[in-house]
């Protein structure tokens, strides 16, 4: 992986904005194209690689080693051969392999099982050449009961099973057990703590400073270097367009807390290349970036960002910030691909990022290109790359993607976000490694341009060259109408996707109609449009969803919904039958209790079964934004 990354890293620009047309792949290292990644785990999908009866996959793997086995199996499947010729070829291959002395393949790196934790999730990695469903269970320390996790996904390019456990507590120990073909492996893992131990504290003077804050002194894992205003005061860094950045972090284990940053000429806060374990929290960023209209009106600025993390920085925690009103503005799709300011940008991150409970907004005239994004979009890195979580954010006023999660997307989880006034809600082109989990997000208003209210997609998909093939799981998301997303998925090719329990309230298409060589598995979703594309939805739900009216950002399903029954309808009133014209009929809301169980994703449902969408009737609400978890007030709003 390392060499391959380096190669692609050098040869590609860091942001190609999702691309106009195909670029020729120049990388000299070509992994197996990912579309061999088969379903290993979804309820109705085949359990593993489907093989002809005359060949035993285990036998082949044992004989020639897993790395060769899949290629061979595919060669075997793809060639139309008689049984006799197959047997002969197999015999010759065995002879060749034995002679070449490559019969033993369980070398170094195989059978390796490890975990990478964030605060609330654990990403699992298990190297094994053996094929079969790889089940997961986990147990919090001190508890005797094992809980079922969602099965891992096999990636034949790496002989690796990968997947995530979600909904965990920070700073808590867990045992994790996986079982493949009757053999179990177990490991102990602790989630990261979000109560950061503090070492040195630098208090900034109250008031307004026109000098940029440049942080070069690192903390340690046991004692973060905290930079924050002096007690009971507010500190504002306002460089009045005289400096490129209001803040630069060129250190590790640093916390920037509770500051206000204004009028940076380019980026609000820059995290230098390869810097890691930095925290930006409870800050306000406003009026950054190059002034002027969008690129098409003469603005040279590209991705001027409130927070900009340079290449290979990682383990960043960006939380509870208010990011609002960049000085520049993105154009909209009337004049080509949007270009302009961004909220949070990561460039080929090293992963391990948590971006949560931020509020990113502007006016429509000073809208973002992407609110959370970066590059390289088509790569095995990208933003946020891997082992990362994006959740609880409120995002609005975006002309391209509210969340652009593109690149490896390896054990990346995106949930509980409220997104509105955007074109595409969540962009995933590409997902080159996977799996990517998108669940319980609310997709509000979408529009293509200032003048064209027709919405974009809930989820933008697509892949290019070898950059594709990662599994995408899309569970329990809700799209809100009217004015919401027009399509559930964009029309790009979209292999290797599993959807369950979503409210796809979209008048356009559900899935692309482009055939893909790996099957997708769309099922148990409500879809209100008419073009399902390749989506089967064998157990799809029809009807109009309805929501309980709420003063807050709450989208609980209402117990009933209405529809018009056209024509003259005999209707019983007491003992009288009256004929009504076009009556409104009241019936049960189709999204209630019509979902399927998804281990670890809807364990706490209420009623007879999980509801479709993000909110479960009878369960606590999802909370979004800066005060989603606790009633935190920042110095810049108190003083
Ligand atoms: Ca984008
Ligand atoms: Ca990008
Ligand atoms: Ca229910």
Segment 39-91, tens digit of pLDDT: 434 333 333 322 222 333 443 333 333 434 444 444 434 434 444 454 444 44
Average pLDDT for the chain = 85
pLDDT value for 225? 98
Q: How far is CA 183 from CA 29, 64, 160, 420, in A?
A: 34, 22, 16, 46
- The token pair at 427 is 């962009």
Q: Residue 293 — pLDDT band, cuts 50, 70, 90?
A: low
Q: What is the mean pLDDT of residues 121-148?
A: 97
Cβ 478 vs Cβ 503: under 8 Å? yes
Residue 79: per-residue pLDDT: 39
Q: Which ligand is nearest to the CA of 617?
A: 3
Pairing of strands 472-475, 436-439: parallel
How many A from CA of 324 to the centre of ligand 1? 19
543 vs 589: CA distance, rounded Å? 8
CA 527 to ligand 3 centroid distance, Å: 18
| 291: confidence class by pLDDT, cuts 50, 70, 90 | confident
Do 520 and 511 touch, CB atoms closer than 8 A?
yes
Average pLDDT value for residue range 126-154:
97
Give the pLDDT score at 45.
Answer: 37
Q: What's the CA-to-centroid distance between 373 and ligand 1, angstroms?
A: 7
Q: In this model, does residue 142 exceed pLDDT 90?
A: yes
When comparing pLDDT for 85 and 563, which is higher? 563
Is the pLDDT higher at 353 or at 493?
Answer: 353
Residue 541 pLDDT > 50, yes or no? yes
Q: If you measure from the C-alpha of residue 589 to the centroid of ligand 3, how many angstroms do you get, rounded to a whole number?
A: 11
Q: What Å distances lie between residue 562 and 230, 546, 568, CA to CA?
A: 57, 8, 17
C-alpha to C-alpha distance for 316 and 523, rounded to whole angstroms: 35
Compute the average pLDDT of residues 95-107.
Answer: 37
At 95 the pLDDT is 44
pTM score, two decimals? 0.84
Average pLDDT of 467-476? 96
pLDDT band at residue 295, thresholds of 50, 70 and 90? Answer: low
Q: Which ligand is nearest to the CA of 14?
A: 2
The ligand placed nearest to the CA atom of residue 559 is: 3
Around ion ligand 3, which residues have CB less than 5 A away?
593, 605-607, 611
- The pLDDT, as a whole number, for residue 68 is 42
The secondary structure element, H or E, covering residue 252 is none
pLDDT of 519: 79
The Å distance, Cα 88 to ligand 1 centre, comes to: 52
Bigger pLDDT: 15 or 387?
Answer: 387
The residue ranking higher by pLDDT, 607 or 70, is 607
pLDDT at 298: 53
Q: Could you give the C-alpha distances from 583 to 89, 219, 305, 570, 580, in angstroms and in order? A: 70, 69, 53, 10, 6
Does 8 or 395 have the greater pLDDT score? 395
Centroid of ligand 1 to alpha carbon of 375 (angstroms)? 9
CA of 613, nearest ligand number: 3
The helix/strand/coil state of 471 is coil
CA of 609 to the centre of ligand 3 (A): 5
Q: Which ligand is nearest to the CA of 618?
A: 3
SS3 state at 132: coil
**Centre of ligand 1 from the C-alpha of residue 500, in Å:** 26
Could you tell me the two tokens for 275? 């810097």
Q: Which of 26-30, 215-219, 395-399 comes out lowest in average pLDDT?
A: 26-30
Q: What would the mean pLDDT of 499-526 be, rounded to a whole number?
A: 93
8 Å CB contact between 262 and 234: no
Question: So what's the pLDDT on residue 23?
Answer: 32
| pLDDT score for 548 | 96
By residue count, the chain amounts to 639
What does the pLDDT look like over 200-231, one tens digit per residue? 999 999 999 999 999 999 999 999 999 999 99
pLDDT band at 302 (very low <50, low <70, confident <90, very high): confident
Q: What is the mean pLDDT of residues 518-540?
A: 94
Q: Which domains does the chain have, with CATH numbers?
A: 113-190 (2.60.40.10), 198-527 (2.160.20.10), 558-590 (no CATH)
Q: Point out the ligand nearest to the CA of residue 608.
A: 3
In this prediction, what percent of the chain has a pLDDT beyond 70?
81
């Amino acid at each position: 992986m390392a060499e391959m990354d380096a190669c692609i890293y050098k040869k590609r620009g860091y942001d190609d904005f999702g691309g106009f047309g195909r670029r020729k792949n120049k990388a000299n290292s070509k992994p197996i194209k990912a579309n061999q990644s088969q379903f290993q785990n979804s309820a109705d999908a085949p359990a593993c690689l489907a093989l002809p009866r005359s060949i035993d996959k285990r036998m082949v793997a044992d004989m020639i080693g897993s790395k060769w086995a899949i290629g061979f199996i595919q060669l075997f499947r793809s060639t139309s051969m008689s049984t006799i010729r197959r047997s002969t070829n197999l015999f010759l291959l065995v002879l060749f392999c034995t002679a070449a002395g490559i019969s033993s393949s369980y070398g170094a790196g195989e059978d390796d099982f490890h975990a990478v934790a964030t605060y609330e999730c654990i990403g699992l990695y298990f190297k094994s050449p053996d094929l079969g469903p790889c089940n997961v269970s986990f147990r919090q320390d001190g508890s005797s009961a094992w809980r079922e996790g969602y099965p891992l996904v096999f990636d034949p390019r790496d002989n690796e099973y990968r997947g995530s456990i979600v909904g965990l507590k920070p700073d808590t120990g867990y045992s994790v057990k996986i079982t493949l073909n009757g053999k179990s492996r177990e490991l102990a893992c602790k989630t990261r703590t979000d109560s950061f131990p503090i070492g040195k504290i630098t208090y900034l003077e109250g008031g307004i400073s026109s000098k940029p804050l440049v942080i070069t002194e690192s903390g340690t894992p046991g004692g973060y270097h905290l930079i924050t205003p002096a007690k009971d005061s507010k500190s504002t860094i306002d460089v009045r367009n005289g400096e490129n950045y209001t803040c630069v972090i060129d250190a590790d284990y640093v916390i920037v807390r509770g500051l206000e940053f204004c009028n940076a000429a380019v980026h609000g806060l820059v995290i230098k290349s390869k810097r890691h374990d930095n925290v930006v929290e409870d800050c306000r960023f406003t009026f950054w970036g190059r002034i002027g209209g969008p690129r098409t009106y003469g603005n040279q600025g590209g991705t001027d960002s409130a927070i900009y993390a340079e290449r290979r920085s990682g383990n960043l925690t960006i939380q509870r910030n208010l990011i609002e009103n960049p000085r520049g503005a993105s154009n909209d799709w009337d004049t080509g691909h949007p270009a302009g300011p961004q909220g949070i940008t990561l460039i080929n991150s090293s992963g391990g990022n948590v971006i949560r409970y931020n509020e990113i907004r502007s006016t429509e005239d000073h809208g973002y290109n992407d609110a959370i994004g970066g590059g390289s979009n088509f790569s095995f890195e990208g933003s946020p790359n891997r082992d990362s979580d994006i959740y609880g954010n409120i995002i609005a006023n975006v002309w391209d993607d509210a969340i652009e999660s593109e690149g490896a997307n390896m054990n990346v989880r995106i949930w509980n976000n409220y997104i509105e006034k955007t074109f595409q809600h969540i962009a995933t082109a590409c997902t080159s490694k996977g799996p990517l989990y998108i669940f319980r997000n609310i997709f509000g208003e979408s529009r293509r341009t200032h003048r064209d209210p027709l919405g974009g997609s809930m989820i933008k998909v697509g892949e290019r060259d070898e950059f594709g093939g990662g599994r995408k799981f899309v569970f329990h998301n809700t799209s809100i109408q009217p004015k919401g997303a027009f399509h559930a998925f964009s029309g790009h090719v979209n292999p290797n996707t599993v959807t369950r329990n979503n409210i796809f309230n979209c008048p356009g298409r559900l899935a692309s109609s482009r055939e893909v060589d790996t099957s997708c598995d769309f099922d148990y979703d409500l879809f209100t449009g008419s073009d399902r594309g390749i989506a089967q939805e064998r157990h799809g739900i029809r009807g109009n969803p309805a929501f309980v009216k709420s003063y807050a950002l709450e989208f609980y399903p209402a117990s009933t919904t209405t529809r018009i029954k056209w024509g003259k309808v005999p209707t019983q009133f007491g003992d009288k039958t009256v004929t009504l014209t076009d009556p409104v009929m009241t019936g049960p809301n189709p999204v209630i209790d019509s979902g399927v169980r998804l281990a670890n994703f809807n364990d706490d449902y209420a009623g007879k079964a999980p509801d479709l969408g993000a909110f479960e009737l009878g369960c606590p609400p999802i909370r979004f934004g800066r005060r989603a978890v606790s009633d935190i007030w920042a110095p810049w709003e108190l003083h």
